[in-house]
Amino acid sequence: MESSDMESLLIVLGVPVLAGAVVGGAVLVVKEVLKRISPKPPSLVLVISASHADFLESLKDKKQIDVSEGEQLYQITRYLWLGSETERSQKIPNINEYSVAQGAESEYNIYLVEIKLKQSDEGFKRNVNQLDRYDAFRKLANLAGDLKVSDRLKIEAYENLGVYNR
């Protein structure tokens, strides 16, 4: 591939190119293409009863999970879902419509905990044995990136998400 062809390809990919400055030739192009088409790590969504609000509040303040908190999340998670952030926002486009007004709380309310994983783990997928699931939750200390805890929500908030049992 000639230098001008390489520059054209990089421009099509949206990579800024200085005139005549194609360094590394095909290697640069391959790396850029792989970066653009590589799947992003998934988001893990946990459905947790509102009775665990204090624990979830402590997670919200820390913005990270340690091993014991991962174990506790395993214990209190009712349902979970693994997928892309885009999929989640399509399935629940306006999560705020499920918010519970102060004074209208119910024992059936839930929280959704969304954890952006640094990398995927088989233990969070559907139909996994409980030992693998437990191990995955223990590994959250190393796997978890950003963590968001929703406001208190009506139980209907997760119905369209396609969650599965812990």
CB 145 within 8 A of CB 90: no
The answer to whether 106 and 47 are in contact (CB under 8 A) is no
Q: What is the pLDDT of residues 103-131, one digit of tens each?
A: 999 999 999 999 999 998 999 999 999 99
Is the model's pLDDT at 65 over the cut of 70? yes
Question: Taking a C-beta distance cutoff of 8 angstroms, is the pair 157, 98 a contact?
Answer: yes
pLDDT of residue 37: 59
At 79 the three-state DSSP class reads strand
- Phi, psi torsion values for 80, nearest 5 degrees: -145, 165
pLDDT-derived band of residue 31, with 50, 70 and 90 as boundaries?
Answer: low
Q: What's the pLDDT score for residue 11?
A: 65
* pTM reported for the whole predicted model: 0.75
Q: Mean pLDDT lowest for which of 41-45, 88-92, 95-99, 160-164?
A: 88-92
Sign of the CA dihedral with 121 first, then 124, 128, and 129 last: positive
As a whole-number percent, the residues of the chain with pLDDT over 70 amount to 76
Specify which residues 4 forms β-bridges with.
none
